[in-house]
Amino acid sequence: MTSFRVARGSDTAELSELVRFSPRNVALVDPTLTAEPPFDFAGRVIWLEAEGLARRHGLDFDRVLRIMRRTATDALGRPLAPPAPGRDNLLDGLRFHPSLDEALAYLPPEDALSVFERTDSGALSRRCRLFDYLADPTTPAYTFGELADLLDALGRHLERNRDPLLRTGYPQTSFAPSPWLEWHLVLLSPTKLPVSAFGPPVDPSAPAYPSASPLPPHRVRLLYEEGSLPTDGDGNLVYRHVWSRTARPPAWSEDGPWVVRSLADPAPVEVCPYGEAAFIHGLPPDVAAHLEEGRAGLFRVKRDIVEACVRCLRARAAGALWPAVLRILTDALLWPEAQRYLEVEDLYWRSGVGDFVVPPYTMRPPDEVPGTLSALLSLVGHVEKELLVGTFDRTIAGIAEVLPETDPAGLESYFQAVGQPGQAALDAALDGFWPLEEREQAFWEEYRSRVDAALEGEFREEVVIRARVKRRLVARFEPQIRTFAEWQRAHLEATGSLPVLHLAQLTTQATVDQAIFRKTGTHWTLTYGGYTAHVKDGHGIRLVAHLLQRPNREIHVLDLVAVLDADRREPQESHESLGAEGLTKLGLRVAGDAEGELLLDARAKSEYEQRITELGEQLEEAMAFDDTERVAIIEQERAFIAHELAAAYGLDGKPRRTVTSAERARTRVRKLIKAARQQIAVHHPSLAYHLQAVKTGIYCSYSPDPTDAIDWET
Strand 72-73 relative to strand 95-96: parallel, antiparallel, unpaired? antiparallel
Residue bearing the bigger pLDDT, 429 or 511? 429
The burial class, CB within 10 Å (0-12 / 13-18 / 19+), for 342 is middle
Distance CA 505, CA 525 (A): 17
Query: Long-range contacts of range 477-484, CB-CB < 8 Å, 24 or more positions apart?
Result: 479/689, 480/529, 480/685, 480/686, 480/689, 480/690, 483/681, 483/685, 483/686, 483/688, 483/689, 484/685, 484/686
Q: Under DSSP, is residue 233 helix (H, G, I), strand (E, B) or coil?
A: coil
Least Cα distance to 344 among 129, 188, 140 occurs for 188
Distance CA 129, CA 118 (A): 18
DSSP 501: P
Distance CA 578, CA 596 (A): 19
Q: Give the number of other Cβ atoms within 10 Å of residue 312's Cβ.
A: 23
Instruction: Please enumerate in sequence order all residues whose Cβ is within 8 A of that of 258, keeping only pairs 6 or more positions apart, or say none.
Output: 248, 249, 250, 251, 252, 352
Q: Give the number of other Cβ atoms within 10 Å of residue 19's Cβ.
A: 6
115, 418 Cβ separation under 8 angstroms: yes
Beta strands in 666-713 (DSSP E): 694-695, 699-702
The burial class, CB within 10 Å (0-12 / 13-18 / 19+), for 88 is middle
Question: How far is C-alpha 561 from the chain's CA centre?
Answer: 49
Residue bearing the bigger pLDDT, 400 or 580? 400
272 pairs with which residues across the strands?
243
**pLDDT tens digits, one per residue of 455-484:** 888 888 877 778 888 888 777 778 777 777
30, 69 Cβ separation under 8 angstroms: no
**pLDDT tens digits, one per residue of 31-44:** 333 333 334 677 77
Lowest mean pLDDT among 125-139, 380-394, 397-411: 397-411
244 pairs with which residues across the strands?
271
pLDDT band at 598 (very low <50, low <70, confident <90, very high): low
Residue type present at position 507: T
pLDDT of residue 357: 58
CA distances from 672 to 61, 557, 632 (A): 93, 12, 49
Query: Long-range contacts of range 399-407, CB-CB < 8 Å, 24 or more positions apart?
Result: 399/134, 399/426, 399/429, 399/430, 400/143, 401/425, 401/429, 402/426, 402/429
Percent of the chain scored above 90 by pLDDT? 10
Distance CA 83, CA 48 (A): 17
Phi-psi region of 587 (alpha: psi -120 to 50; beta: other; left: phi over 0): left
What mean pLDDT comes out for the span 264-286?
78
- Return the CA Rg of the chain: 39
Residue bearing the bigger pLDDT, 541 or 413? 541
**pLDDT tens digits, one per residue of 255-272:** 444 444 454 455 566 788
Q: Is the pLDDT of residue 700 over 70?
A: yes
What mean pLDDT comes out for the span 297-305?
93
354, 369 Cβ separation under 8 angstroms: yes
180, 133 Cβ separation under 8 angstroms: no
CA distances from 467 to 64, 474, 500, 687 (A): 85, 10, 23, 21
What mean pLDDT comes out for the span 363-375?
65
Q: Is the pLDDT of residue 300 over 70?
A: yes
Residue bearing the bigger pLDDT, 21 or 279? 279
pLDDT of residue 16: 28
**pLDDT tens digits, one per residue of 127-152:** 888 888 888 777 888 889 999 999 99
Strand ordering across the sheet containing 555-556: 555-556, 699-702, 694-695
Distance CA 88, CA 90 (A): 5
Backbone phi and psi for residue 72, each to the nearest 5 degrees, phi listed first: -75, 135
28, 47 Cβ separation under 8 angstroms: yes
Residue bearing the bigger pLDDT, 273 or 510? 273
524 pairs with which residues across the strands?
519, 535
pLDDT of residue 160: 92
pLDDT of residue 91: 60
CA distances from 222 to 39, 112, 353, 360, 396 (A): 37, 32, 19, 10, 30
679, 538 Cβ separation under 8 angstroms: yes
Instruction: Please enumerate in sequence order all residues whose Cβ is within 8 A of that of 327, keeping only pairs 6 or more positions apart, or say none.
Output: none
Where are the chain's structural domains?
A: 15-118, 124-190+283-462, 192-278, 505-597+657-714, 602-648
